[in-house]
């Protein structure tokens, strides 16, 4: 049970009635000022309890960043701390002769990556992988790092270049409010939650100035357009247009003040994200002119009206469903805003066409009320998803530099953290799959590679075990059979999906994998995956359908018939119909999972070609309150990202790894004063680990003497 001490909730590991664990007692008995321990590798002994206690003490005195070996732990302050992110501080980090001497900060990671690019050591391109739960501070961190680069990557430029670089940076920074307006929403866990993943590459020229950027997005949660969980909201942009439109815009977009929209819940709640002017200005800077903006907002308003179209049940199966009495005007407005014929809109929503037989005869079948509403939702989802993708491509067109003008990049990865809800389905499977891949990258890059390097160099080292997630990944994506392949196969077979049958197939085919389990007490078909961050139970019902993500061809055709110039771009008339999902083509079935898997593989390839840096964002409490540290919640996040193992390996190993090149440059003067000292063997690789203070023959010299 958590206890409250001076407003702080203390750890269950250290609270009143329980005796303190022995390691914690030893730790607390030492002379350390816990809050001053900038690096968790100095915690002794390294246990979950001691690491947790150290972070807690630091949080209490408003210290939010702590180094953990190769990782930076970032605790969310949940309050403004302007002095921590001011340009002066950015400059201090940028010009610091010895970066590691400054307090841990995201700017340390930012600057180190920047210096790595400058030093041209392979791999020159850098990636900063920002991870953590929803609301932990990933987007905030990425935004701050972009500002950091915008400030420092321009500081040494001449006046003329300065202006050009500034213009580019402004556009790169302006991509944030636009992407957040269209891709973020208020959820139970975060009022500005990114509902998509993104990898942004900041492109640098030979002089390390930012010349442009590019954005890659992953898995937008498009279902949110037509369904918002209780107490959650739709994407911010919908609230921005309904709250911020001028009176003439209201007339044009049919958005009278106070109008009620079914897909706009909780609009009485005003957030700082409801800033229409900021979004419009940013769009303008990105080259989206007023007329195109007007087009976009008209379509969005059309979707809001579409959401108000509800149907009555039909009298019998041969009759089409009629729109409810008060929905008739919404049919008119939707048709006019999307610039499509009203009759065609109604026909498409209410009638399914079936092509069958050798003659490819077309049959018309009236849809049930539920089917009509599914088609309505599908129309909204497909339109919004294409609009979002189009926006991303316009942003890229505006911020991307000519390939000849940049040579290196620093990538910022901000992806949704590990998710485990009472009900988990395909979305969570994809998100947790991405997190497993990133964890594997971390394990391979750091936990395994570092220990293997020690062994290869013959250093005295006893292997520290860590949790390898390969078997879990085999279960999800392995070959020849895996959960993904089995779900995809169900889509390919194009038969009515049966969740119980799929459960049996998963169990019988993959039972040898220790990461697979099932909740035998649940009456719903399910499977459990033992993820590195904990077990997650997935419901199978609905998974295959979600994976197919079918868009009835009539819906696409309807949008292709629109007279609206933007909708014509989003749904070009020459586009092929996705009939492979209908089993009429031999082409491989493109499912949500297969698309996600291939974009993830591309991402991993890029990450593998860069030098990675890790920032683990931690949420001190789930309510977003400042100055509240809930030990149990923090502990589970630390466990989920393997922080203690990382610290363990770093503490036992060589926390500072200096290349021989920079070691020689740094200590060359002293070598001359101590000619008898042995020289490092040139056979050793250039990035061999060096335990700086113990390995250096000059370890005990003060910094001043070291350099004089």
Ligand X SMILES: Nc1ncnc2c1ncn2[C@@H]1O[C@H](COP(=O)(O)OP(=O)(O)OP(=O)(O)O)[C@@H](O)[C@H]1O
> What is the separation, in whole angstroms, between the first and last Cα of the chain?
56
Contact between 428 and ligand X (CB under 6 A)? no
Upper half-sphere CA count for residue 103 (Cβ side, 13 Å): 14
Which DSSP string corresponds to 576-592?
A: PP-GGGGT---SPP--H
400 Cβ partners below 8 Å, 6+ apart? 203, 212, 213, 214
Neighbours of 689 (CB within 10 A): 18
Rounded least distance, CB 101 to ligand X, Å: 22
Rounded least distance, CB 637 to ligand X, Å: 11
The piece of 129-137, 200-208, 356-364, 598-606 that touches ligand X (CB under 6 A) is 129-137
In whole angstroms, give the CA distance from residue 241 to residue 696. Answer: 62
Neighbours of 494 (CB within 10 A): 14
Q: Which of 50, 108, 184, 194 is catalytic?
A: 194
Contact between 134 and ligand X (CB under 6 A)? yes
Contact between 76 and ligand X (CB under 6 A)? yes
Q: Is 29 a catalytic residue?
A: no
Rounded least distance, CB 197 to ligand X, Å: 9
Q: Is the dihedral of CA 639, 109, 433, 629 positive or negative?
A: positive
Query: Is 222 known as a binding-site position?
Result: no
Residue from 55, 68, 129, 136 in contact with ligand X (CB under 6 A):
136
Query: Is 569 known as a binding-site position?
Result: no
Query: Is 132 known as a binding-site position?
Result: yes
CB nearer to ligand X: pick between 103 and 250: 103
Q: Which of 139, 435, 482, 497 is catalytic?
A: 139
Which of 410, 413, 414, 415 lies closest to 152 in space, CA to CA? 410
Residue from 27, 59, 65, 140 in contact with ligand X (CB under 6 A):
140
Q: Is the dihedral of CA 577, 578, 580, 583 positive or negative?
A: negative
In whole angstroms, give the CA distance from residue 136 to residue 194. Answer: 12
Q: Which of 9, 111, 221, 419 is catalytic?
A: 419
Residue from 59, 65, 78, 667 in contact with ligand X (CB under 6 A):
78
Q: Is 135 a catalytic residue?
A: yes
Contact between 137 and ligand X (CB under 6 A)? yes
Q: Is 417 a catalytic residue?
A: yes
In whole angstroms, give the CA distance from residue 215 to residue 199. Answer: 6
Residue from 3, 44, 100, 192 in contact with ligand X (CB under 6 A):
192
Q: Which of 47, 108, 116, 134 is catalytic?
A: 134
Contact between 135 and ligand X (CB under 6 A)? yes
Residue from 14, 126, 190, 240 in contact with ligand X (CB under 6 A):
190
Rounded least distance, CB 431 to ligand X, Å: 10
Query: Is 137 known as a binding-site position?
Result: yes
CB nearer to ligand X: pick between 193 and 201: 193
Query: Sheet of 408-414: strands edge to edge?
Result: 65-68, 71-75, 611-618, 126-131, 408-414, 197-204, 210-218
Query: Is 16 known as a binding-site position?
Result: no
Q: Which of 417, 497, 526, 645 is catalytic?
A: 417
Determine phi and psi for 96, rounding to 5 degrees.
-60, 130
Q: Is 17 a catalytic residue?
A: no
Rounded least distance, CB 416 to ligand X, Å: 5
Rounded least distance, CB 617 to ligand X, Å: 6
Looking at residue 362, the DSSP 8-state letter turns out to be E
Rounded least distance, CB 244 to ligand X, Å: 20
Residue from 14, 112, 175, 193 in contact with ligand X (CB under 6 A):
193
Query: Is 139 known as a binding-site position?
Result: yes
Q: Is 134 a catalytic residue?
A: yes
Q: Is 190 a catalytic residue?
A: yes
Upper half-sphere CA count for residue 89 (Cβ side, 13 Å): 17
86 Cβ partners below 8 Å, 6+ apart? none
Contact between 138 and ligand X (CB under 6 A)? yes
Query: Is 135 known as a binding-site position?
Result: yes
Q: Is 465 a catalytic residue?
A: no
Cβ–Cβ under 8 Å, residues 684 and 704? no
Cβ–Cβ under 8 Å, residues 209 and 307? no
Rounded least distance, CB 231 to ligand X, Å: 15
Determine phi and psi for 538, rounding to 5 degrees.
-105, 135
Cβ–Cβ under 8 Å, residues 600 and 434? yes
CB nearer to ligand X: pick between 134 and 424: 134
* Contact positions with ligand X (CB under 6 A) in 617-636: 617
Binding residues for ATP are 132-139
Q: Which residues are catalytic?
A: 134-135, 139, 190, 193-194, 417, 419
Q: Which residues are annotated as a binding site?
A: 132-139
Q: Contact residues for ligand X (CB under 6 A)?
A: 76-78, 80-81, 132, 134-140, 190, 192-194, 416-417, 617
């Amino acid at each position: 049970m958590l206890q409250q001490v001076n407003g702080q909730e203390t750890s269950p590991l250290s609270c009143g009635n329980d005796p303190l664990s022995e390691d914690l007692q030893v730790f607390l008995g030492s002379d350390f000022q816990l809050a001053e321990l900038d690096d968790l590798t100095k915690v002794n002994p390294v246990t979950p309890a001691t690491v947790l206690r150290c972070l807690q003490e630091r949080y209490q005195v408003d210290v939010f960043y702590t180094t953990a070996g190769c990782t930076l732990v970032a605790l969310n302050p949940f309050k403004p701390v302007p002095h921590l992110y001011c340009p002066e501080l950015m400059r201090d980090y940028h010009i610091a002769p010895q970066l590691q001497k400054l307090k841990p900060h995201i700017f340390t990671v930012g600057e180190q990556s920047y210096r790595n690019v400058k030093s041209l050591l392979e791999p020159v391109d850098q990636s900063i992988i920002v991870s953590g739960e929803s609301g932990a501070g990933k987007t905030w961190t990425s935004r701050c790092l972009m500002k950091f680069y915008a400030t420092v990557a321009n500081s040494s430029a001449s006046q003329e270049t300065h202006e050009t670089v500034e213009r580019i940076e402004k556009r790169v920074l302006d991509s944030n409010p636009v992407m957040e307006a269209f891709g973020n929403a208020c959820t139970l866990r975060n009022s500005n939650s990114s509902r998509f993943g993104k990898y942004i590459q900041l492109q640098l020229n030979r002089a390390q100035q930012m010349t442009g950027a590019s954005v890659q997005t992953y898995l937008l949660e498009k279902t949110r357009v037509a369904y918002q969980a209780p107490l959650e909201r739709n994407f911010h942009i919908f609230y921005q247009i309904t709250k911020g439109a001028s009176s003439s815009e209201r007339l044009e977009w049919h958005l009278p003040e106070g109008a009620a929209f079914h897909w706009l819940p909780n609009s009485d709640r005003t957030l700082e994200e409801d800033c229409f002017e900021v979004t419009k200005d940013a769009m303008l800077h990105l080259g989206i002119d007023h007329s195109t903006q007007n087009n976009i907002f008209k379509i969005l308003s059309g979707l809001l009206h579409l959401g108000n179209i509800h149907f009555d049940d039909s009298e019998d199966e041969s009759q089409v469903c009629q729109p409810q009495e008060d929905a008739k005007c919404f049919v008119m407005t939707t048709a006019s805003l999307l610039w499509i014929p009203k009759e065609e809109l109604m026909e498409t929503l209410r009638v399914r066409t079936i092509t069958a037989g050798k003659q490819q005869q077309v049959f018309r079948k009236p849809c049930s009320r539920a089917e009509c509403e599914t088609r309505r939702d599908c129309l909204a989802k497909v339109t919004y998803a294409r609009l979002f993708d189009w926006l991303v491509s316009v942003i890229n067109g505006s911020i991307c530099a000519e390939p000849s003008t940049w040579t290196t990049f620093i990538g910022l990865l901000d992806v949704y953290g590990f998710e485990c809800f009472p009900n988990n389905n395909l979305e969570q499977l994809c998100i947790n799959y991405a997190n497993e891949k990133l964890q594997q990258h971390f394990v391979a890059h750091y936990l395994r590679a570092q220990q293997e390097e020690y062994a290869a160099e013959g250093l005295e080292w006893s292997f520290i075990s860590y949790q390898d997630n390969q078997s879990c990944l085999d279960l999800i994506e392995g070959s020849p059979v895996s959960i993904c392949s089995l779900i995809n196969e169900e889509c390919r077979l194009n038969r009515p999906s049966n969740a119980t049958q799929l459960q049996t197939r998963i169990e019988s085919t993959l039972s040898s994998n220790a990461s697979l389990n099932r909740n035998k007490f649940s009456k719903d078909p399910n499977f459990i995956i033992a993820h590195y961050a904990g077990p997650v139970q997935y419901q199978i019902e609905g998974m295959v359908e979600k994976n197919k993500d079918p868009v009835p061809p009539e819906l696409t055709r309807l949008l292709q018939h629109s007279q609206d110039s933007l909708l014509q771009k989003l749904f070009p008339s020459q586009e092929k119909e996705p009939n492979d999902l209908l089993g009429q083509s031999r082409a491989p079935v493109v499912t949500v999972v297969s698309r996600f898997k291939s974009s993830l593989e591309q991402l991993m390839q890029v990450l593998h070609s860069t030098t990675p840096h890790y920032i683990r964002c931690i949420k001190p409490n789930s309510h977003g309150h400042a100055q509240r540290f809930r030990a149990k919640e923090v502990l589970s996040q630390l466990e989920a990202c393997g922080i203690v193992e990382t610290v363990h390996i770093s503490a036992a190993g060589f926390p500072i790894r200096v290349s021989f090149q920079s070691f020689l440059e740094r200590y060359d003067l002293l070598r001359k004063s101590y000619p008898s000292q042995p020289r490092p063997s040139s056979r050793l690789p250039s990035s061999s680990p060096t335990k700086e203070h113990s390995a250096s023959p000059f370890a005990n010299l003060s910094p001043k003497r070291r350099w004089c």
